[in-house]
Structure 1
């Protein structure tokens, strides 16, 4: 982090406007600290963590003391920031009012963050953390890439933050962007008497809101800027490929692939979270490395570009298994025979669902929507990336009620070949070869693999799955507190609860 820990001249330009030019009218011999006040700090910690707390953990965020949270389980804002600006080192140090309580009875944790601080010289965010009746002061939560405007700064979670949030996987993970801005009505007057005209050089005129403009509008989880680790979000909206094809306007699909991660937080919960389980792909399906998204292959079905309709089914299956107790699993869910139906930019994602031995065919798991103006093909291939998928009521039941109806799942991507000689994005022809190349536990290149447990991780290269290999970072390990740890150790209680959910 040393490369970005000290940005003195860049910050000087931003704070100069907030304090007035007189703040820099000091000689090196008379450098002094000027007071700062009326600042706000806006940070969401991490979007996937917020989704975990209010989703799978059925928990709550409760801001108080002036802190607020944006609508839609959005980011947090801490107010009444005050501190100092050092005209010698150009360091900004601020402390903020307000606290944030994070709690889940289901997963047995409760913690409070308070006395949040930002230090540009140390390039970090700290907070006092209260948990189990114990207060730890000035816990470093994130390293910050400090910028001139102090808005939308990149953050990276620390080892200490991983402990606080309950998952070692958070260490080094990208956090939500951080903004530190001054409220528009406030003015600052430096306490040091200006002497001389030593003006810092090499600084550009600031263009961000750190100059005293309105504070940034908090971004909700539904509209937050996509993480740079999410390749599926690189384009502004899902787009169909450009027109131009030798295939007829309607006909049968020759081949194709479907890329979908189901839900990133669910994959993490199964492998690294409380379930302590494994994910296994089979039947031609593959999984990207690092507990990534899945690719289903060998598409069949029909298309009609004039009517903007597509109906496709895909080969392969994925099994999620966890909460083992005495050889029995409380979670044993298999999705197979995935299908996509699209009509005019909207549609459904279906699958056969087997949960704890009970099978339901053609369950509508998600409602799909795209922003495309019609299905078009290029080189006899129709490609759609970043299709929005929202959980249906039937889908919520399939996941045992862990996610509510309407929850956003991982985006869907697909490529279908309209002719036998059309090449899918990975370079394979429409011969049913699929777009992924898995690696089984023997490393022989078979199309099955296992993530978690004692197995290895299947891999996927190219194709749609390559664009959807990661849809977010880690979520906490489910059992964040002692109560949840005891539940997991007991095992049987989890199995009974899961089976009761399924029976219901």
Structure 2
């Protein structure tokens, strides 16, 4: 790893910082005692969501917190505890150092680094950490500039040039990082004394700094209303639908995998996603809707087979007009029997095609197939990657990896009304609405790139995930040696070594 130069910035924001601190923090009794001790603070920061998705996804790597550091569930943000430091009553600057370390490693993409001695300085408006890689440690590497707020919760961050070097991609320099929260773990026993700040008259209660709203957790408590409307007790006999026959129409909502979409559009691939042939993509690099289903069903035997029109293409790692990643999924078919089954697709990668590749094993929430108003709907069907599916993705995901969930609706008669696609398909994505509904053959396609979405799908990638440039992480440059040939499926995804400029 190249040498990392530490750049210190002046304390430009120090005079504007006024923080709700613990009981003893502001008990300064003389001018010579301008600095008061602080303790029991926690720092929570996820670095960058798209970077975590890259490490846990395409890089097949891991995050290992230690020595008191922790990571939230579902590849979430990191928390460093045991924060101690000082508060300067003259400048209102808070300087804290935290216990714990975080190891970030990927054998596949060839990187292994550890962050430790994480520090936050509100006066310098930055986060720093010691970075160890290849047996060498660089002290106090500035990782992000921070837009400091009085409450120190949900503060905006911007990754530095040094962070881009640490994370292995020049595209991260200047990119928005995850929000930062610094709070005192032990509730203070009394309110802090005002220190002359203009904002001191609006000081929050003593519990404000110790009970921040969790960042990035709003979607985790949202109730999946779509799945609640499909009651297992709905009876096919209520509508008089035949118990078996041919499917008249249908839609399939599936995002493949949220971390893969992020990797392609916002992550190291710096590429694009294109839906075509009747398939559409929800705004904000959301999930896909495939339309115009045909096939057959039998509600007595609880079996269903439905094939859908539309295709989705993933391109990335562009070099001199060619792509190291060029993957197309089309001809998606769902087959269920008693609540379990398979999702298959035709897979084309870098000019090689395999038909009817079993990508995922499916498990529905119910084994009964029942129609309501001549429509069978199944929401939040669990999808797990098969061995052939893992080969189709070049070995970057392992067999058994949980993919985005599947939402399925099929019409049993020509006049049945299909529900609108909710664009969910993944509990972790929450990216707006799909365009399913009637499955109209006139639906046009759209392309999602790092700069937004073109075509019929509106919207674009939002701030926290946006990144610039097209450089591949340093670890990924060596991935050519790890190219996987899908012998069983005949599919190859090759991440070509980028040619030197």
For residue 417 of structure 1, report the CA deviation from its aligned partner: 3.9
For residue 404 of structure 1, report the CA deviation from its aligned partner: 1.2
SS at match of 1:338: strand
Give distance in 2, aligned partners of 1:32 and 1:346: 67
Give distance in 1, aligned partners of 2:222 and 2:262: 22
Structure 2 counterpart of 1:97, from 64, 86, 99: 99
| Structure 1 residue aligned with 2:445 | 438
Give distance in 1, aligned partners of 2:334 and 2:340: 10
**Residue pairs, 1:161-200, within 5 angstroms:** 161=163, 164-165=166-167, 166=169, 168=171, 172-173=175-176, 175=178, 178=181, 180-182=183-185
| Structure 2 residue aligned with 1:401 | 395
Structure 2 counterpart of 1:316, from 305, 310, 320: 310
For residue 179 of structure 1, report the CA deviation from its aligned partner: 5.5
Structure 2 counterpart of 1:460, from 445, 451, 457: 457
**Residue pairs, 1:6-155, within 5 angstroms:** 11-12=19-20, 15=21, 18-19=22-23, 32-63=34-65, 67=69, 75-86=77-88, 92-104=94-106, 106-119=108-121, 125-129=127-131, 135=138, 137-141=140-144, 143=146, 148=151, 153=154, 155=156
| Deviation string, structure 1 residues 58-107 (Cα, Å, up to 9, x no partner) | 44445566545568766534343211235577654311134434344543
Residues 69 and 76 in structure 1, CA contact (< 8 A), matched pair in contact too:
yes
For residue 400 of structure 1, report the CA deviation from its aligned partner: 1.7
Give distance in 2, aligned partners of 1:273 and 1:63: 23
For residue 411 of structure 1, report the CA deviation from its aligned partner: 3.6
State TM-score, norm by structure 1: 0.66
Pair 306,207 (structure 1): closer, same or farther in 2 beyond 3 Å:
farther
State TM-score, norm by structure 2: 0.66
384-393 or 429-438, which moves further after superposition? Answer: 429-438
For residue 35 of structure 1, report the CA deviation from its aligned partner: 0.7
For residue 460 of structure 1, report the CA deviation from its aligned partner: 2.9
Residues 252 and 407 in structure 2, CA contact (< 8 A), matched pair in contact too:
yes
Give distance in 1, aligned partners of 2:364 and 2:126: 39
Give distance in 1, aligned partners of 2:297 and 2:177: 40
Structure 2 counterpart of 1:425, from 412, 420, 424: 420
Pair 193,54 (structure 1): closer, same or farther in 2 beyond 3 Å:
closer
For residue 336 of structure 1, report the CA deviation from its aligned partner: 1.7
| Structure 2 residue aligned with 1:158 | 159
SS at match of 1:97: coil
Give distance in 1, aligned partners of 2:207 and 2:336: 44
Give distance in 2, aligned partners of 1:5 and 1:257: 56
Pair 164,307 (structure 1): closer, same or farther in 2 beyond 3 Å:
farther
Residues 279 and 312 in structure 2, CA contact (< 8 A), matched pair in contact too:
yes
167-176 or 250-259, which moves further after superposition? Answer: 167-176
Residues 37 and 83 in structure 1, CA contact (< 8 A), matched pair in contact too:
yes
Give distance in 2, aligned partners of 1:431 and 1:127: 53
SS at match of 1:19: coil
Residues 60 and 103 in structure 1, CA contact (< 8 A), matched pair in contact too:
yes
Say if 2:473 is the partner of 1:480: yes
Pair 189,392 (structure 1): closer, same or farther in 2 beyond 3 Å:
same
Give distance in 2, aligned partners of 1:411 and 1:24: 51
Give unpaired runs (5+ residues) of structure 2.
1-12, 195-199, 422-433, 492-501
Say if 2:306 is the partner of 1:295: no
| Deviation string, structure 1 residues 115-157 (Cα, Å, up to 9, x no partner) | 3123456765333456686847451426467585x67x46544
For residue 435 of structure 1, report the CA deviation from its aligned partner: 8.8
Say if 2:361 is the partner of 1:364: no
For residue 175 of structure 1, report the CA deviation from its aligned partner: 1.9
Pair 19,253 (structure 1): closer, same or farther in 2 beyond 3 Å:
farther
CA RMSD of aligned residues (A): 5.4
Give distance in 1, aligned partners of 2:262 and 2:185: 38
Pair 484,44 (structure 1): closer, same or farther in 2 beyond 3 Å:
closer
Give distance in 1, aligned partners of 2:148 and 2:335: 44
Residues 241 and 377 in structure 1, CA contact (< 8 A), matched pair in contact too:
no
Pair 89,293 (structure 1): closer, same or farther in 2 beyond 3 Å:
same
SS at match of 1:420: coil
For residue 315 of structure 1, report the CA deviation from its aligned partner: 0.7
Give distance in 1, aligned partners of 2:436 and 2:104: 51
Structure 2 counterpart of 1:334, from 328, 334, 346: 328
| Deviation string, structure 1 residues 339-364 (Cα, Å, up to 9, x no partner) | 23456765542223344565544333
Give distance in 1, aligned partners of 2:107 and 2:259: 19
Number of aligned residues: 449
Give distance in 2, aligned partners of 1:484 and 1:430: 40
**Residue pairs, 1:270-309, within 5 angstroms:** 270=264, 279-288=273-282, 291-302=285-296
Give distance in 1, aligned partners of 2:344 and 2:155: 37
| Structure 2 residue aligned with 1:497 | 483
